[in-house]
């Protein structure tokens, strides 16, 4: 059973426009969420995170929004650049409890930014 | 600076062979993780070390999988009698802290294992 779901396998946007990547989760015990970016033949790299006590976190062109009641988060990239083309993974963990190290990942969304 | 490195980058094994995958974490990182990423899936947790202690091996798919980190630095993931379903990318990650607070995990490039 997928506890973290990224329902869009791929997304294509024009350079300069906004990219919105979505993620849903089913485990209400998750209280910390992360986005990772992955280029081909490389490992995932950390992009941005958000704690469940916040509803928004911003870092430059990247903003993550969290809607706890809907168990939904989204990553906004504005403006999108061709170098942003990669697979984006949503991940979640439970900060409280004994397994606070364990990340649960979605399947990823392939973002293509067209020049 | 030096990131997490893994070797080999690619491994082809015949069904039934044993394989060993190596991970060199970032120097000084206490925590080390192994993940398995099947084609079209996200990484799935296999096991976690804090220094040399393996604190969680709940994600290892079977007793054919074994991981160690004897000196609290380099780690090896061993798969015995490989099966076709073991074909995947095996990712290693390390993190600077362990215990109450966990910061982001830094991933290596992975080892792509193909079992024929």
**What does the H/E/C string look like for chain A?**
CCCEECCCCEEEEECCCCEEEEEEECCCCCCEEEEEEECCCCCCEEEEEEECCCCEEEECCEEEEEECCCCEEEEEECCCCHHHCEEEEEEEECCCCCCCCCCEECCCEEEEEEC
The encoded tokens of residue A2 equal 């997928």
Q: Give the count of beta carbons closer than 10 Å to the beta carbon of residue A41.
A: 11
Does residue B97 surpass a pLDDT of 60? yes
The pLDDT of residue B86: 97
A101/B93 CB distance under 8 A: no
B43/A99 CB distance under 8 A: no
Of residues B32, B28, B30, B3, the one with CA closest to residue B94: B32
Rounded mean pLDDT, A24-29? 95
Rounded mean pLDDT, B97-101? 63
Q: Give the count of beta carbons closer than 10 Å to the beta carbon of residue B49.
A: 24
The pLDDT of residue B104: 81
B78 contacts B66 by C-beta, under 8 angstroms: yes
Chain B environment of A88 (Cβ under 8 Å): none
Q: Return the sign of the alpha-carbon dihedral for residues A55, A43, B106, B82.
A: positive
Note the pLDDT tens digit of each residue in A81-102: 999 999 999 999 987 777 778 8
Chain A environment of B109 (Cβ under 8 Å): 41-43
Smallest Cβ–Cβ distance between B104 and the set A43, A49, A106 belongs to A49
> pLDDT band at residue B1, thresholds of 50, 70 and 90?
low
């Amino acid at each position: 059973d997928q506890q973290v779901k990224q329902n869009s396998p791929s997304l294509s946007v024009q350079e300069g426009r906004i990219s919105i990547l979505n993620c849903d989760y089913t485990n209400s015990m998750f209280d910390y969420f992360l986005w990772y970016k992955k280029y081909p033949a490389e490992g995932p790299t950390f992009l941005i995170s958000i704690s469940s006590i916040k509803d928004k976190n911003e870092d430059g062109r990247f903003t993550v929004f969290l809607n706890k009641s809907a168990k939904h988060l989204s990553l906004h990239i504005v403006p999108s650049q061709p170098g942003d083309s990669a697979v984006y993974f949503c991940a979640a963990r439970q900060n409280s409890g004994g397994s606070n190290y364990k990340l649960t990942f979605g399947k990823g969304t392939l973002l293509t930014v067209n020049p | 600076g030096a990131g997490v490195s893994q070797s080999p980058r690619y491994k082809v094994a015949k069904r039934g062979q044993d394989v060993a995958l190596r991970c060199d974490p970032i120097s000084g990182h206490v925590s080390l993780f192994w993940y398995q990423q099947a084609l079209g899936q996200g990484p799935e947790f296999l096991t976690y070390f804090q220094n040399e202690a393996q604190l969680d091996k709940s994600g290892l798919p079977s007793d054919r999988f074994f991981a160690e980190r004897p000196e609290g630095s380099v780690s090896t993931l061993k798969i015995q009698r490989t099966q076709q379903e073991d074909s995947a990318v095996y990712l290693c990650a390390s993190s600077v802290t362990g215990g109450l607070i966990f910061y982001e995990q830094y991933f290596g490039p992975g080892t792509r294992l193909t079992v024929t």
